[in-house]
Amino acid sequence: MFYMNIVILGAGRIGVSLIRELLQENHDITVIDVDAERLNYVANKYDVKGLVGKGVSRENMLSAEVDKADFFIACTSQDEVNVICALLAKKIGAKKTIARVRDPEYYKEMKIMKDDFYIDLVFNPEYRTAKEISKVLKFP
């Protein structure tokens, strides 16, 4: 199994789901979040590194060792923050960057602009869930 260094921005529902899945593969995970109480809970429960702060801070990114990350995943509730932080992470040295973009208008444009923003993957969990449900309904 290939071990990776992963930094996740956002300790919300999506971030925690990612943590649970990725820990099953024994990856080294660092989580950045502005909510100290939430971050402390997640870091202790899942035994991951935690850093309280904003992802748009270069200093915070360097403290989380984004420059050594195989993946940087921005999954806060704010699309703009996710895009900016993924761009910053790539500029700092993250090998691959992923941004959660929920707004359908942004998501459409991100498909076109992701190369300009140096984002390797843009995902919309709600859209993907809807597509999966649609598949099941078409082919039960």
- pLDDT-derived band at 105 (thresholds 50, 70, 90) equals confident
Q: How far is residue 122's CA from residue 8's CA, in Å, rounded to a whole number?
A: 14
Can you give the pLDDT at residue 108? 73
- pLDDT digit string (tens) for 33-77? 999 999 999 999 999 999 999 999 999 999 999 999 999 999 999
Determine if the pTM surpasses 0.75: yes
Q: How far is residue 63's CA from residue 49's CA, in Å, rounded to a whole number?
A: 11
DSSP element (H, E) containing 29: strand 28-33
% of the chain exceeding 90 in pLDDT: 69
Output the six-digit token pair for 34. 């502005």
Can you give the pLDDT at residue 128? 61
